[in-house]
C-alpha cells in the first residue's frame, strides 16, 4: 500500500478526457478530468534541498544507454536500464536514469550523498505500492531500500529495518504471540512505508506500536526520534512534512503479548482475500476514507455505479471499488484518467472530493 517515500504530485492542469476505450456495466457520461498531469513523476516530490540543482527534463532525456556507473563508495549505479514498472505493484512506469540498491544504513547514506554531490534528483523506494510512475520514466536516481535487518531487543520489542516487508513482520510478531500489527498481514509494503503513511486497518495503526524511529536527513545525518515526540494522524505522519528527510532507516516496535494475536492475524488475512483483489496488480486503496462521514471511499465509488469502469488497461475492481487494477496493459495516463473520472463522479453525486492515499 505504500512506498518508503510516497508523495503525490501537486501540479494541476485541466485536460479533456480523450475518446478512448471507456466502458462500464452502467453507462455514465465521463466528465472532464482536472488536477492530474501525465508528464509528472508520481509520487515524486523532489527534496527541497535539491530545488536549486539543474535537472534535465524527462522529455529531452535519452534512455537508450545501459552502462553501469560506480562511485567511490563501491555502490553499483545502473544507468538508463531499470524499468520502474518492475519495482511497483501497479506494474506501470518507464526507465529511471539511475538505479541503485542499498542494504544497510551506511550504503543509504553514501547513495544519498553521492546524488547530492552530483546534483542528481533522487527518491527512495520500498515495495513500490501506492506509487504511480510516468511511462516516460524518471530523470533521476531511484534508490531501492533493501535494509531488512531484524533485531529482537527484548520480549515484544523489535528493531526492524525500513526495507523489511511489513506483512512478513506482522505475521512473525503475531505468530510469536504479540499484538499490535496483526493488520499488517497481506499489506504489500515496507516497515518504512507503513511508518511514513501511518498505515492501518481493522482499528489498528502502525503508530500505536512504534517506540522509536531512526532517519537519515538529506545531508546524510542519522537521527533517532522517540514516538512521544511525534504526532501521527489518519494516514499521516510528521515525516510527510519534514523538509530535510531523506529516509526512514529503522523502526523499533513495542508490542503487547496476546494469546489471540495469531488467530486475529489469520482472520484479517482471510478477510482480505474475501474482499480485496489480492491476486491482481493494484496499488492497494487508491483513496483515503473521507473523515467524519461514516462511509468509506469504496462505498461512495460503488454507490456511484463505478465498479468495472475502465479506461484503456486500467479498471475499477469489481471486488473492491477502491482498488484500481492494471489489467495488463495500463499506462500511467490510463490510470490518471480513471482516477480523475472516479473523483469527478463521486464529487458530482455526493459532493465529496476524494483524496488519494
Q: What is the pLDDT of residue 71?
A: 57
Q: Within the chain, which residues score under 50 in pLDDT?
A: 1-68
In b/e form, how buried is each residue of 270-291, taking b as 16+ CB within 10 angstroms? eebeeebbbebbbbbbbbbbbe
Q: What is the pLDDT of residue 64?
A: 37
- 353, 343 Cβ separation under 8 angstroms: yes
Q: What is the pLDDT of residue 72?
A: 53
Q: What is the pLDDT of residue 219?
A: 83
| Alpha-carbon dihedral angle through residues 197, 200, 204, 208, given to the nearest 10 degrees | -10
Q: Is the backbone of residue 38 left (phi > 0), alpha (psi -120 to 50) or beta? A: alpha
Task: List, for residues 110-159, the tens digit of each pLDDT value.
Answer: 999 999 999 999 999 999 998 999 999 999 999 999 999 999 999 999 99
Q: What are phi and psi of 189, to 5 degrees?
A: -145, -170
- 122, 143 Cβ separation under 8 angstroms: yes
Contacts of 327 (CB under 8 A, 6+ apart): 310, 313, 314, 315
Residue that has been written with the C-alpha cell 475492481 in this structure: 317
Q: Which residues pair with 357 in a beta bridge?
A: none
How far apart (Å, rounded) are the C-alpha atoms in residues 277 and 324?
9
Instruction: Tell whether omega for the bond before 202 is within 30 degrees of 0, i.e. cis.
Output: no
DSSP 8-state class, residue 11: -
| Alpha-carbon dihedral angle through residues 161, 164, 170, 175, given to the nearest 10 degrees | -90
Q: What cell numbers appear for 119 in the block?
A: 546534483
Q: What is the pLDDT of residue 73?
A: 60
Q: What is the pLDDT of residue 346?
A: 97
Which is nearest to 333 in space by CA: 190, 54, 133, 78?
133
Q: What is the pLDDT of residue 146?
A: 97
Please tell me the pTM assigned to this model: 0.78
Amino acid at each position: 500500500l505504500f512506498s518508503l517515500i510516497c508523495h503525490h504530485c501537486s501540479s494541476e492542469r485541466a485536460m479533456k478526457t480523450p475518446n478512448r476505450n471507456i466502458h462500464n456495466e452502467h453507462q455514465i457520461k465521463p466528465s472532464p478530468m482536472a488536477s492530474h498531469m501525465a508528464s509528472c513523476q508520481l509520487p515524486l516530490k523532489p527534496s527541497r534541498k535539491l530545488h536549486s540543482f539543474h535537472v534535465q527534463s524527462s522529455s529531452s532525456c535519452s534512455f537508450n544507454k545501459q552502462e553501469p556507473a560506480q562511485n567511490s563508495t563501491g555502490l553499483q549505479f545502473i544507468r538508463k536500464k531499470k524499468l520502474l514498472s518492475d519495482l511497483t505493484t501497479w506494474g506501470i512506469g518507464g526507465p529511471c536514469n539511475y538505479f541503485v540498491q542499498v542494504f544497510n544504513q551506511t550504503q543509504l547514506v553514501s547513495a544519498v550523498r553521492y546524488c547530492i554531490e552530483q546534483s542528481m534528483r533522487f527518491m527512495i523506494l520500498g515495495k513500490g505500492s501506492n506509487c504511480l510512475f510516468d511511462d516516460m520514466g524518471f530523470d533521476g536516481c531511484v534508490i531501492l531500500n533493501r535494509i531488512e535487518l531484524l533485531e529482537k531487543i527484548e520480549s515484544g520489542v523489535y528493531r526492524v529495518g525500513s526495507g523489511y516487508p511489513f506483512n512478513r513482520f506482522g505475521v512473525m510478531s503475531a505468530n510469536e504471540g504479540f499484538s499490535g500489527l496483526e493488520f499488517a498481514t497481506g499489506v504489500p509494503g515496507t516497515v518504512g512505508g507503513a511508518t511514513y503513511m501511518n498505515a492501518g486497518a481493522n482499528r489498528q495503526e502502525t503508530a500505536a506500536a512504534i517506540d522509536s524511529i531512526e532517519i537519515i536527513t538529506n545531508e546524510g545525518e542519522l537521527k533517532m526520534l522517540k514516538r512521544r515526540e511525534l504526532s501521527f494522524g489518519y494516514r499521516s505522519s510528521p515525516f510527510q512534512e519534514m523538509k530535510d528527510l531523506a529516509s526512514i532507516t529503522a523502526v523499533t516496535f513495542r508490542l503487547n503479548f496476546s494469546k489471540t494475536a495469531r488467530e486475529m492475524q489469520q482472520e484479517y488475512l482471510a478477510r482480505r482475500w474475501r474482499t480485496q483483489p489480492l491476486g491482481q496488480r493494484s496499488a492497494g486503496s487508491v483513496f483515503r476514507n473521507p473523515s467524519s462521514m461514516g462511509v468509506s471511499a469504496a462505498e461512495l465509488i460503488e454507490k456511484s455505479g463505478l465498479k468495472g469502469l475502465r479506461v484503456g488497461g486500467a479498471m475499477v475492481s469489481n471486488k473492491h471499488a477502491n482498488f484500481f487494477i492494471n489489467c495488463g496493459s495500463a499506462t500511467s495516463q490510463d490510470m490518471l484518467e480513471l482516477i480523475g473520472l472516479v473523483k469527478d463522479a463521486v464529487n458530482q453525486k455526493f459532493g465529496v472530493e476524494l483524496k488519494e492515499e
